[in-house]
Amino acid sequence: MKSIQVGLLGAGTVGSGTFKVLQRNQEEIKRRAGRGIEITMVADLDTARAREVAGEGVKVVADAREVIANPDIDIVIELIGGYGIARQLVLEAIAAGKHVVTANKALLAVHGTEIFAAAHAKGVMVAFEAAVAGGIPIIKALREGLTANSIQWLAGIINGTTNFILSEMRDKGLDFATVLKEAQRLGYAEADPTFDIEGVDAAHKVTLMSAIAFGIPVQFDKAHVEGITKLAAQDIKYAEQLGYRIKLLGVTKRTAQGIELRVHPSLVPSKRLLANVEGAMNAVVVHGDAVGTTLYYGKGAGSEPTASAVIADLVDITRLHTADAAHRVPHLAFHPDAMSDLKVLPMAEVVTSYYLRLRVADQAGVLAKVTGLLATAGISIDAVLQREADEVGGEGSTQTDLIILTHDAREGTVDDVLAELQALPTVLEPIVRIRKEELK
């Protein structure tokens, strides 16, 4: 049978990996897919780069629309990124009746509803395994492998750049800015790493996983997004002394009130596997009611790991493209007419536990006052650590750090009590609040 014809938009790192892996493993891939898969056309503004990536025998063009307009192309791979031209091209490819494979989490997290509706109406597939956690087949696991389950929650380290930075901060006791510079020098972090360090990239990914896990529309605008730029080396050290590591987690959880959808630094017990995911690696823990807790670990970025996910999607489409559209796996795991209207909770309604650090005057009654206000608010304390004043502020210091771990509390209640604590004359600096996930 004739090979399925693929057009590639964007001949960068992942595109190059996709060519290499398709070439290297072509025989095995063909045996799995039932027919060959061939990239026959590549579009990139940098045609010299595209030519180098594609090699001989592949048509190289500067204009992506030439690929979309080619009637021989069955599948379009979008590896351009961003919400601008990529959105236009994906919608045009769908309108032209092409199946689409994309690694573009930003595009789908923000415009997913529009794109999946267009694909559904046209009867084409939009596959996006590479958009979340690179080479880890987490979309496949959530959408198919765990389909028997009522998924309760998932939590993931889904941004390699920030995990690398946090690992280095902990290992070397360095501050954020120093490690970021090192990460950029080593090529881990982009020259403009804003989406990574501010938690936006992780929020795109957890938004997609949340939609698939719970059958809700993609709602990036409802996600709580907090990055790691304000994390101090000191808090990483204190957390360690209390038996925790700090990770940037994407968390989504089903509760009686609605869905939690959030990205922020979190204390994770050091003994959990997730706490031991170091460097640029990714991992996702998913808890289903039947299966219990499952863990997925691997490379979340890079040329061939991401190509591995792109090609898995190409194989899926090759197997299914002649099937009746109604018999394919729905884009978001649940049939479009059976989506849930469970609301995404505002952060004030989220219930979790907390690490609080207060720089206080080292005076009689300060601890009692602080714990008294927490008790009045109904917030139960799990552990307290008070540093020696000399250790915190040097010899003769009259200030100290008070570190408190709480049991579960409603975020809105914590916000209120933190405002009261901050107003105390004996609380000398802005209070540090980091959420804590026990992941039991």
Contacts with ligand HSE by CB under 6 A: the residue count is 7
Catalytic residue among 98, 105, 140, 205: 205
Residue 43 CA from chain centroid, whole number: 28
Query: Does residue 160 interact with ligand HSE by CB under 6 A?
Result: yes
Torsion angle defined by CA atoms of residues 342, 348, 352 and 354, in that order, rounded to the nearest 10 degrees: 160
Give CA–CA dist 190/421, Å, rounded.
39
* 159 vs 318, beta carbon nearer ligand HSE: 159
User: In the complex, what is the shortest distance from the CB of residue 130 to ligand HSE, in angstroms, rounded to a whole number?
Assistant: 9
Query: Does residue 168 interact with ligand HSE by CB under 6 A?
Result: no
Choices 33-41, 156-164, 179-187, 392-400; region in contact with ligand HSE by CB under 6 A: 156-164
Choices 91-99, 157-165, 311-319, 426-434; region in contact with ligand HSE by CB under 6 A: 157-165
Eight-state DSSP code of residue 40: E
Query: Does residue 38 interact with ligand HSE by CB under 6 A?
Result: no
User: In the complex, what is the shortest distance from the CB of residue 425 to ligand HSE, in angstroms, rounded to a whole number?
Assistant: 43
- Find the binder of ligand HSE among 44, 201, 304, 362 (CB under 6 A): 201
| Strand 381-386 relative to strand 399-406, pairing | antiparallel
Query: Does residue 301 interact with ligand HSE by CB under 6 A?
Result: yes
- Find the binder of ligand HSE among 196, 313, 316, 437 (CB under 6 A): 196
Known catalytic residue: 271?
no
Choices 45-53, 120-128, 153-161, 393-401; region in contact with ligand HSE by CB under 6 A: 153-161
If you count them, how many residues does the chain have? Answer: 440
Give CA–CA dist 39/14, Å, rounded.
14
Closest alpha carbon to 247 in 277, 209, 285, 208: 277
Q: Taking the CA of residue 29 as centre, how many other CA atoms within 13 Å lie in the half-sphere pointing to its CB?
A: 25
CA-to-CA separations, 352 to 152, 164, 177, 379, 399, in angstroms, rounded: 15, 25, 29, 11, 29
- Find the binder of ligand HSE among 18, 159, 266, 352 (CB under 6 A): 159
Query: Does residue 156 interact with ligand HSE by CB under 6 A?
Result: no
SS3 169: helix
218 within 8 A of 211, measured Cβ to Cβ: yes
User: In the complex, what is the shortest distance from the CB of residue 218 to ligand HSE, in angstroms, rounded to a whole number?
Assistant: 16
SS3 404: strand
Choices 112-120, 158-166, 253-261, 359-367; region in contact with ligand HSE by CB under 6 A: 158-166
* One-letter identity of residue 256: A
* 262 vs 357, beta carbon nearer ligand HSE: 262
77 within 8 A of 44, measured Cβ to Cβ: no
Query: Does residue 44 interact with ligand HSE by CB under 6 A?
Result: no
Q: Interface with ligand HSE by CB under 6 A: which residues?
A: 159-161, 196, 201, 300-301
Catalytic positions, please?
Answer: 205
